[in-house]
Amino acid sequence: MELEEDTEPSTADVNARWSGQCQLPLARVKNIIKSDPDITLASHDATLLIAKATELFIVHLAKQSYGHTVKGKRKTIQRRDLDACIPQEDSLAFLEGAVD
């Protein structure tokens, strides 16, 4: 299914590409959301979206870390690989100082 560049994908297009399945436990994600005192109610769709975004972020972080593992001619991702990828990747700059 090709989309024209000028048009936004419809809800049906998005649902066709992603069936709404997550690897993260939704009950745990919902509990984390509820732990924020500023949030009083979170819909199932919002919880699902947050869980999927978190999954995609973890995949991105793991891929970046693995790139440093390969450069070091190793097969196992280590903490130093994670620490090395954070300052080099602009999208991960917000993690500087947060990962201890």
pLDDT grade for 1, boundaries at 50, 70 and 90? very low
The pTM score is: 0.72
Cα–Cα separations (whole angstroms), residue 81 to 19, 35, 49, 58, 66: 33, 31, 28, 14, 7
Q: For the chain, how long is the longest CA-to-CA vector? A: 48
Q: Is residue 4 part of a domain?
A: no
Q: Is residue 55 part of a domain?
A: yes
Fill in the amino acid letter for 81.
D
Phi, psi of 39 (to 5 degrees): -105, 120
> What is the number of domains present in the chain?
1
Q: Is residue 3 part of a domain?
A: no
Q: Is residue 35 part of a domain?
A: yes
pLDDT tens readout for residues 32-89: 999 999 998 889 989 999 999 999 999 999 999 999 999 999 999 999 998 888 888 8
Provide the residue range defining the domain that includes 56.
Answer: 11-95
